Amino acid sequence: VQLQASGGGLVQPGGSLRLSCAASGRTFSDFAVGWFRQAPGMDREFVAYIGRFGDAIDYANSVKDRFIVSRDNAKNLVYLQMNSLEPGDTAVYYCAAAPSTNYYAPRYGYWGRGTQVTVSS
């Protein structure tokens, strides 16, 4: 499966962005999808995941109650709605696919190119 994340940009603190992850090449519902982010000089970190049919969802504590992950299998899309953004959310955001949900990046075999999110006034 090929993945492409989009929707990043520059936003002020407290603002919102919605990232999209578009998939192609395989049956999208065969895969759970994870969102990860990587800030300069930092390791890639887990942000959220969503199960194959949206039944399993979890978030990193740092984004819980601010971010919402969802998917539309008919459109081969996964979304990450990011609200109340903080400067600490600045990073390149990646979507990744795996047979099941997982918190660990190495368990995801398919990765898209990231999209930059910058939160700054």
Say what the pLDDT of residue 62 is: 97
Say what the pLDDT of residue 113 is: 93
- How large is the average pLDDT for residues 64-75? 96
pLDDT digits (tens, 9 = 90+) for 27-61: 889 999 999 999 999 999 999 999 999 989 999 99
pLDDT digits (tens, 9 = 90+) for 103-117: 999 999 999 999 999
- Strands, DSSP E only, in the chain? 2-6, 9-11, 17-24, 32-38, 45-50, 57-59, 67-72, 77-82, 91-98, 110-111, 115-119
pLDDT digits (tens, 9 = 90+) for 82-95: 999 999 999 999 99
Does 96 or 55 have the greater pLDDT score? 96
Rg of the chain taking only CA atoms, in angstroms: 13
